[in-house]
Amino acid sequence: MALTPLSDALERILSDVEATLDYDTVALEAASGRYCAATINATLSVPPADNSAMDGYAVASHNVPGTLAISQRVPAGHAPLPLEAGTAARIFTGAEIPAGADTVILQEDAEAGEGQVSLPAAQPGQHIRRQGNDIQPGDELVAAGQRLTPQDIGLLASVGLDAVPVFQSLSVAVLTTGDELREPGSGDLDPGQIFNSNRFTLAAQIRALGMTVIDCGNLPDDPDQIGEALERAAAEADCIVSAGGVSVGEEDHVKSQIEQRGALDLWKLAIKPGKPLAFGHVAGTPIFGLPGNPVSAFITFALVAKPWLIKRQGGRLVPTLRFPVRAAFSITRPGTREEFLRVCLAGSGEALRATLTGSQSSGVMTSLSEADGVAVIAPGTTVAEGDWVEVMLLSTL
Ligand code: AMP
Ligand code: MG
C-alpha cells in the first residue's frame, strides 16, 4: 500500500463533514470552551459614554491654564451635571465626562486649593475614553464557530449579554484494544502486560476540545467482542476513537470489524510517528482507528481526528501555528515520511533553539511529555545543527 501524505488524508476526511446544527443557549458562566453557534454583534457602545481614564479634573480646554472653581465632584457610577461654564469638575477614573468638558487634567498636575484648583494648559480630548472607542453598535464580537475563551466571555458580558448560543458538545466514544493492557489501579502487572495509557491520553485530548467522552474501556483482541463494543459505541456516540489493532497483524481486529459492520478506509499515512490509520464508519457512526503506539495515537489524534471533530462540532478550523526555530540537532539520513520530532524550546529570538527531548520511538511517552512542541521535517530533508526548522507547539495540537 502506498503511503498517503497527511494533507491528502485530511482533505479526504474533511471534505464531507457536516457541522452539527444542534445548539443550546447557555449562561455566560457555562460558555467558556464551548463553540459559539451564531455570530454575535454588539447592540450598544462600549464605553457607553465618554469617561475619564484618570483621576483629575474635567474642564473645557479653552479655560486652562487658569485657576477654576470646583463646581461638582463626579465619582465613577454617578451621573454628572452639565459643567458650569468657567469651572472644573473633580473627576475619577471611569466617571462620565460632564457635558461642556472636553479634557481631563491629571490630579498630579493640579494644585488644589479651597474650593478651587490651578490647572495647566491641556489638549482637548486628553485622558478621555470616547464613547464607542472599544465597541460600536453592529461590531462583530465573536463569530459562529469560534471557541469561546475567557476573554470572549468578558467581551460578551461587556455589552450586557448574559447568555450565548453554543453548539451541543459532541459525544466521542473512546475504546482501546489489546490483551496486554491492564487498567491503572487494577493491581500489579502480570508478565506480558502493560498499563493502558492511550485510553487516558485520548480521553484527555477529547475533553480538552470541550467534548464529552464516552469511555468504552479496553477490549481484548477478540473480533466478536471488539465488533460488539464498536456497535454499542456507534449507537451512543457521535464519533468513535479507538486505539490499537489497525496494523496488518493477525491480532489486529479493529480494522476487520469496521469493515464488517460498516465501511473502512485504511491509510498508511506518510507521517512518523503514526503510520496506520483507519477511518470509516460503524453503523453510520464515523470512527477513527488510531495506531496503538502511544505517541502515534497522540499525534494522529491531534493531526487527523481533531480537525474532523472540530469541524463536526461546528468549530472553525484555523491552521496550527508553525514558526521557524533553529535546530539544536541534526538529521543526516533523510526520512521517507513527514516527521514530527519531539522538541523542547529554549532561548529567545534568533537564539531560540529546538532540542530533541530524547528517543523519538513511537512508544516513548517521556519524550512527548517533556516536549514543548514538534519540529516538522518534510520527507527527504536533512538537517544540520543551526538550520531553521518549523515547530508547532503541543499546546496548540
Ligand atoms: P497495536 O497497534 O495494537 O499493534 O499496538 C502497537 C503497540 O502499542 C503495542 O506495543 C501495544 O502494546 C501498544 N499499545 C496499544 N494500545 C495501547 C494502549 N492503550 N496503551 C499503551 N500502549 C498501547
Ligand atoms: Mg494491539
pLDDT in tens, 344-371: 999 988 889 999 999 999 999 999 999 9
202 pLDDT tier (thresholds 50, 70, 90): very high
- CA–centroid distance, 333 to ligand 2, in Å, is 30
- CA–centroid distance, 364 to ligand 1, in Å, is 11
Q: What is the average pLDDT score of the chain?
A: 96
Q: What is the pLDDT of residue 99?
A: 98
C-alpha cell at 119: 490647572
Pairing of strands 56-59, 51-52: unpaired
C-alpha cell at 290: 488510531
Q: Is the pLDDT of residue 1 over 80?
A: no
Q: Is the pLDDT of residue 247 over 90?
A: no
Give 305's DSSP letter: I
Q: Is the pLDDT of residue 265 over 90?
A: no
Nearest-CA residue for ligand 1 atom 16 is: 292
Q: Give the span between the Cα atoms of 385 and 295, in whole angstroms.
A: 25
176 lines ligand 1 (CB under 6 A): yes
**Cα dihedral 354, 356, 362, 368 sign:** negative
158 lines ligand 1 (CB under 6 A): no
Say whether 34 sits in a helix, a strand or coil.
coil
244 lines ligand 1 (CB under 6 A): yes
- CA–centroid distance, 376 to ligand 2, in Å, is 27
Answer yes or no: are the C-beta atoms of 104 and 127 closer than 8 Å.
yes
Mutate to test the pocket of ligand 1, among 198, 200, 219 (most ligand atoms within 8 A of CB): 198
Q: What is the pLDDT of residue 289?
A: 96
| Closest atom of ligand 1 relative to the 221 alpha carbon | 3
pLDDT in tens, 291-312: 999 999 999 999 999 999 999 9
Q: Using a CB cutoff of 5 Å, list residues around ligand 2, an ion.
A: 178, 244, 292
